[in-house]
Chain A
């Protein structure tokens, strides 16, 4: 029990003094995770709309793939990206392995299927008459897509936030492709793993609290958006 109290005290000291590089790690985590979520949104939104609204061969298989991808184990994503970005791998020449860019790619691979699947489901759940109505109003394709996405904006935002939540808390992919390099690719989760292995529970707890705070902030935003949508 003394160990826990001691660790909590140390965590509090670190959080209140900002000693060490825990806030630098937190900031790096926010930037990397924000970038990977942005990439997932930029790739996932159009794909989700295409899956929901388009007609193309293999569409059903693609939907199944996206649905299956929502459960993509971070370690598998990390493995795929590692093999691809490894120096002797197909994209090794880019020199991305063990860089924040590699973590962004791996995390985007984890978050994109979530954005695709939820966007597609949200758009497919819109009333058919709404699709007809928007086109009947004379909307061209860009405005049609914009209005459809706007109608499904709440679930789409939920998908993006869920994508953020899943990548901010993953450790396997970041460790594999980032290498947990101090000052470069060390993020909250990989740092926490390292500190626990060193027996620095106070530091690990401080990192854990920051991670929880970030996830909590996402939850607060999500809840606020959903409640506003319900009230509006």
Chain B
């Protein structure tokens, strides 16, 4: 699908990119490259500037600094042409008020695909995204998942060289989201398209991205291969955003000095008397998609432990209970 590109030229190159709203600088990115064929996820909490970064990179938002798309610096004169090398999918599927297939055909018309080939290509991509049967449905007749599939079909039908995905799955229910993320991974691999994705979901980034950029307060806090960033946060802010507890080693009785990032899956609930176990007080029982965890406190340090739904119901954990935990030191990261 994508035309071959020189690996030496990044698909997307951002230099000194900044966006200011009023007097507040909401984005300041010194340098960021997305290499041809790779998928980069921009992770960050709400309000971190993820969407602003994506809009500026997609040449949809005025920004200071330089944006290069496949080596060509964007300017007022070539912006529309460069946008046609890309496609963007938003959280809100933003379908035009016309039938699903006509939405795709409209995008193809903008890309000067001959009228005789538009319908066939639109139907192909709707089929590929599993919504061919809904080709004649209007946007309000589609479910959230269907609408987002049509939006993805519209984006991919024009055979973009660079795909921007702005939290495209966050408005969907858990099951639809999980399925669509998996399908998106397959589509990215199949087409070889370069992709820049924004999300606040680590799992989504882990499934889709080769590299992760963590954005905190509009600035790049860490960038690296996905597994590295997710397993070894570099700063306390990144660690906290990724769901790690930040504690001192001494507070948990672990060897070494300084502060540690402790993921909830490194904390194992064990029976009283287990070797190496220590007591922790349950502060709260927290729920999350597909699982639950206990917020714990020990030695003045607050941290969390994953707990299966079965264990949660059988143990009937409540605030103030005493739990026994073992911490896998190898899974913690030094800050």
Contact = CB atoms under 8 A, between A and B. Distances in A.
Interface of A: 127, 129-130, 132-140, 143, 147, 150-151, 232
Contacts of B83: 135-138
B94 A140 contact: no
Contact of A151 (B90, B97, B111): B97
* Highest count of chain B CB atoms <10 Å: which of A127, A132, A139: A132
A129 B110 contact: no
17 contacts: A127-B94, A129-B90, A132-B90, A133-B88, A133-B90, A133-B96, A135-B83, A136-B58, A136-B60, A136-B83, A137-B107, A137-B154, A138-B84, A138-B107, A138-B110, A138-B111, A147-B106
Interface size class of B (residues with CB under 8 A): 20 to 34
Interface of B: 55, 58, 60, 80, 83-84, 86-88, 90-92, 94, 96-97, 106-107, 110-111, 138, 154, 158, 164
B90 A137 contact: no
Contact of B87 (A132, A134, A136, A139): A136
Given A143-B110, A232-B138, A135 B60 contact: yes
Nearest to B138: A232
A10 B179 CA distance: 74
Nearest to A231: B138
Contact of A138 (B80, B91, B96, B97): B80
Contacts of A132: 55, 60, 88, 90, 94
A164 B55 CA distance: 41
Q: Which 8 residue pairs of A and B lie closest in terms of their CB atoms, listed nearest first?
A: A138-B84, A133-B94, A136-B88, A129-B94, A129-B92, A129-B90, A138-B83, A138-B110
B106 A137 contact: yes
A151 B96 contact: yes
Nearest to A151: B97
Given A147-B96, A151-B97, A137 B58 contact: no
A135 B62 CA distance: 13
A130 B84 CA distance: 17
A143 B106 CA distance: 10
A180 to B, nearest CB: 45
B91 to A, nearest CB: 8
A136 B60 CA distance: 7
Nearest to B92: A129
Contacts of A140: 80
A125 to B, nearest CB: 13
